Copies of this chain bind each other. A is one copy, B any other.
Amino acid sequence: MNAQAHGYTGLNIRGLAGEVGIKAASIYYHFPSKAELGAAVARRYWEETARDLEMIREAAGDALSSLGRYPEIFRRSLEAGNRLCMGSFMSAEYDDLPEAVKVEVQTFSDVNIDWLAKQLLEANITATQDSKLRAGAIFSAIAGAQLMARSRNDIKLFDELIEGYKLAGLLPSTQNSMSE
């Protein structure tokens, strides 16, 4: 939670220990290092996202409307205290991350891209060989939109950028409401 709001460097062992009600040194009984603690946080984050993606797919029914709801995942992160998704968040300080954390961060984008590629294929938007490329493009574009919306502290900007992606043809234009 701390890591999601402030990144890996922002993850504070002494502060976290205080929240939990133990001393900083005691953290090292549960985790061998800050690196492993960070990896555990990141792991939990992408696992949660994987569950969210499954839920979206089930709730939406078909692949096309699943794709339409995909940006919600990143939007929710912004809503919850204007946070970044762990993936793009930590990528910024990627060079300085311990290996164990890097692995989890990469898994996060893998989970997202695999899911997107599957929906794109099922919705007949891309051919088999193009699905991965298009999925990556969508993921990176939305991560970028989230990054920017956060820096402007402006969720409406996120919605506008997503709209811009739809108009340009990067995202499929799904009719979410009946009225249009």
A contacts with B, residue count (CB < 8 A): 47
The answer to whether A91 and B92 have CB atoms under 8 Å apart is: yes
The answer to whether B164 and A134 have CB atoms under 8 Å apart is: yes
The answer to whether B133 and A164 have CB atoms under 8 Å apart is: yes
Residue of B nearest to A143 (CB): B144
Most buried by B among A6, A94, A133, A168: A168
Which residue of the partner chain, among B7, B96, B148, contacts A140 with CB atoms under 8 Å?
A: B148
Q: Which 8 A-B pairs give the minimum distances between C-beta atoms? A: A144-B144, A92-B92, A137-B164, A169-B169, A140-B144, A141-B141, A91-B151, A168-B170
Which chain A residues have a beta carbon within 8 Å of chain B's beta carbons?
5-7, 9-10, 82, 84, 88-96, 102, 105-106, 109, 130, 133-134, 136-137, 139-145, 147-148, 150-152, 157, 160-161, 163-165, 167-170
